[in-house]
């Protein structure tokens, strides 16, 4: 991609893959290292390691060189403004707890939006050597092969992924929802990474994923990949998804899952 030419969504997808692969390799060197780089973030268990910081810096350095003028928002270093209309969303390590404990389900996630619409994204799982990516209208792939969501159409046969926030009060409420749901579905999984969950939904390894109170960088790439893999995506009330509320399903179980969630969460919501 030469500077100055407007890049196609496909070219940006390739760049997302490269950025996420490079940062993922930087992070992989530190897998299993629990040494905190700084004070924890939102709670005592919300870690940041020097590897999160190094991986994010690797992406920012390439973007500064190759995409000057684009805005960037990242989990560890916040926002830098731009004037091009493009905005990058970076999570250097999604699933930091898994990463720090040497578990394989963590990912580097990179997405780019043009004028507010995500047009390309990649999620790389370095410990499993998997690269998921998509561009708007271009389908989703895993390691360059097309993927699609499952064809499940009965909620009691659906394998559901979800996640919990870091605040003890919030996660207790979220566990209450899980307790009310678990008798209605095949089973429930908590991988520890929203980006990974959305990719597993996209290749049919999960049938449903829902979570609340996430951040933009956790889900920007994964939501595009899921939509391009054929998922039906909404928030937990059936309106458009946003990082605060995400429900992504195989189309055959979306409406039923929405009903179940409304009942299981009760009113007011888990938030
Ligand atoms: C994590 C998510 C996870 C969610 C956690 C947290 P981190 O991101 O991906 O699924 O349940 O609350 O937000 O902190 O590992 O980058």
Query: Which mean pLDDT values do the consecutive 10-residue runs of the chain (271 residues) have?
Result: 77 98 93 71 72 92 96 91 96 93 96 97 98 98 98 98 96 96 98 98 98 97 98 97 97 98 74 49
Candidates 17, 245, 231, 233; CA nearest to 135 is 17
Q: What DSSP state is assigned to residue 35? A: -
Helix axes 9-28, 50-66, angle to 10 degrees: 150
Residue-level pLDDT at 192: 98
Residue closest via CA to ligand 1's atom 6 equals 165
Residue closest via CA to ligand 1's atom 12 equals 165
Written as six digits, the tokens of 36 are 């905190």
Residue-level pLDDT at 35: 75
Residue-level pLDDT at 141: 98
Candidates 199, 84, 220; CA nearest to 142 is 199
Direct distance between the N- and C-terminal alpha carbons of the chain, in angstroms, rounded to an integer: 43
Written as six digits, the tokens of 107 are 């990912």
Q: Is 165 in the pocket of ligand 1 (CB under 6 A)?
A: yes
Predicted TM-score of the model (pTM): 0.94
Q: Is 17 in the pocket of ligand 1 (CB under 6 A)?
A: no
Written as six digits, the tokens of 264 are 């299981």
CA 3 to ligand 1 center in whole angstroms = 34
Q: Is residue 226 within 8 Å of residue 202, measured between CB atoms? A: yes
CA 5 to ligand 1 center in whole angstroms = 36
CA 5 – CA 67 distance, rounded (Å)? 11
Query: 3-state DSSP call for residue 47?
Result: coil
CA 63 – CA 156 distance, rounded (Å)? 45
Residue-level pLDDT at 269: 46
């Amino acid at each position: 991609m030469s500077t100055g030419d407007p890049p196609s969504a496909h070219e940006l997808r390739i760049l997302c893959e490269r950025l996420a692969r490079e940062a993922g390799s930087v992070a992989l060197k530190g897998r299993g290292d629990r040494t905190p780089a700084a004070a924890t973030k939102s709670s005592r268990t919300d870690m940041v390691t020097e590897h999160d910081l190094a991986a994010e810096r690797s992406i920012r350095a390439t973007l500064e060189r190759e995409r000057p003028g684009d805005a960037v928002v990242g989990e560890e270093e916040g926002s830098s403004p731009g004037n091009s209309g493009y905005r990058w969303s970076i999570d250097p390590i999604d699933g930091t707890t898994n990463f720090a404990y040497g578990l394989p389900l963590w990912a580097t996630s990179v997405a780019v939006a043009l004028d507010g619409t995500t047009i390309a994204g990649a999620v790389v799982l370095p410990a499993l050597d998997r690269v998921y990516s998509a561009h708007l209208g271009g389908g989703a792939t895993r390691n360059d092969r097309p993927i699609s969501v499952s064809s499940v159409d009965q909620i009691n046969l659906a394998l559901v992924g979800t996640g919990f926030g870091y605040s003890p009060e919030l996660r207790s409420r979220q566990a209450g929802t899980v307790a009310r749901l678990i008798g209605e579905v095949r089973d429930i999984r908590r991988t520890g990474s929203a980006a990974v969950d959305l990719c597993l939904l996209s290749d049919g390894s999960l049938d449903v994923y829902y979570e609340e109170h996430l951040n933009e960088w956790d889900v920007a790439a994964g939501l595009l990949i899921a939509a391009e893999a054929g998922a039906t995506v909404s928030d937990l009330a059936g309106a458009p998804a946003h990082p605060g509320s995400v429900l992504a399903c195989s189309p055959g179980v979306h409406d039923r899952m929405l009903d179940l969630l409304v009942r299981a969460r009760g009113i007011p919501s888990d938030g």
